[in-house]
Amino acid sequence: MFLNLLFGSPAIAVAWLVAILFTLTIHEFSHALVGKLRGDKTAEYEGRLTLNPIAHVDPTGFILLLLFGFGWAKPVPYNPYNLRDPKWDSVKIALAGPFSNLLMAIAAGIAFRVLVGGSVIESMNLLAVFLFLSILLNLFLMLFNIIPVHPLDGSKLFFALFDHPKYQELRTFVATRGPQILLVAVLVSAFTSLNIFFFISEPAFAICDALIGGSCNGYFASIFSSF
């Protein structure tokens, strides 16, 4: 995907790259920040309480993200024994990432409306494209990460809510089989035309429509048909 953009429209490729780094950095930084606020400084000691993208980029995950649209950043470490409430503080740390993505999507949406809706810049201006891509990427990352499957952020909430012996079989299935099912879904989505993650893409575009006050599908098509 990135290579196609790079050869077709280098400027849009750069905007896409910066938007990805921005999105991942805010997500991981938020995990680290909430961890510190809840009493654990592990992430800070390991240099993760920073807005420097280099600290959060996993080389393999980032390359796969550029090539196939799916990847990952470095997981933010924390020690549950340092937390005030290990069970629920772990949930707060996990959900801080998706919540930060929602806030960033809203902020980018407001900026887009002010600048593009107010005719300060043209809709195909590189800043407008960056803001639009930031909206979509943040929404996709938020919705993907709240899937209740290990190692995604949503799994922490799932395990906290179903923390009872009678749910042990379900917890074991989600912990062991869930990642395998998720991996297969990601591979099928990346290498075929099947939209397995429609439950993410459809809400993401619907929220995006509301944020920019227009059709995100249409704007997306206009960006990527311009080269």
Question: Mean per-residue pLDDT for 15-34?
Answer: 96
Helix (H, G, I), strand (E, B) or coil at 73: strand
Confidence band, pLDDT 50/70/90 cuts, at residue 48: very high
Q: Is the pLDDT of residue 5 over 80?
A: no
Task: Tell me what pLDDT residue 159 has.
Answer: 95
Cα(27)–Cα(141) distance, integer angstroms: 9
Question: Mean per-residue pLDDT for 174-201?
Answer: 89
Catalytic residues: 28
Q: Is the pLDDT of residue 218 over 60?
A: yes
Tracing tokens 């297969």 back to the chain, one arrives at 184
Q: Is the pLDDT of residue 194 over 90?
A: no
Confidence band, pLDDT 50/70/90 cuts, at residue 227: low
Range of the domain at 60: 2-224
Task: Tell me what pLDDT residue 210 has.
Answer: 98
Quick one: angle between helices 86-112 and 154-161, nearest 10?
Answer: 140
pLDDT in tens, 161-172: 999 999 999 999
Q: Is the pLDDT of residue 100 over 70?
A: yes
Lowest-confidence region among 29-33, 173-177, 201-205: 173-177
Count helices and strands (H / E) in the chain: 11, 0
Task: Tell me what pLDDT residue 2 has.
Answer: 67
**What's the 3-state SS for 1-43?**
CHHHHHHHCHHHHHHHHHHHHHHHHHHHHHHHHHHHHCCCCHH
Confidence band, pLDDT 50/70/90 cuts, at residue 106: very high
Q: Which amino acid is at 160?
A: A
Task: Tell me what pLDDT residue 226 has.
Answer: 55
Measured from the Cβ of residue 217, the count of other Cβ atoms closer than 10 Å reads 12
Question: Mean per-residue pLDDT for 118-125?
Answer: 94
Question: CB–CB of 2/66 below 8 Å?
Answer: yes
Cα(149)–Cα(158) distance, integer angstroms: 8
Lowest-confidence region among 97-101, 104-108, 218-222: 218-222
Q: Is the pLDDT of residue 132 over 80?
A: yes
Confidence band, pLDDT 50/70/90 cuts, at residue 112: very high
Cα(78)–Cα(227) distance, integer angstroms: 44
**What's the 3-state SS for 80-146?**
HHHCCCHHHHHHHHHHHHHHHHHHHHHHHHHHHHHHHHCCCCCCCCHHHHHHHHHHHHHHHHHHHHC
Task: Tell me what pLDDT residue 189 has.
Answer: 87
Percent of the chain with pLDDT over 70: 98
- Average pLDDT of the chain to the nearest whole number: 93
Confidence band, pLDDT 50/70/90 cuts, at residue 70: confident
> Considering its fold, how many domains does the chain have in total?
1
Tracing tokens 């959060």 back to the chain, one arrives at 56
Q: How many CA atoms lie within 13 A of 57 on its CB side?
A: 16
Task: At 169, give phi and psi (nearest 5°).
Answer: -65, -40
Tracing tokens 């980032």 back to the chain, one arrives at 62
Percent of the chain with pLDDT over 90: 79
Six-digit token pair at 82? Answer: 């340092």
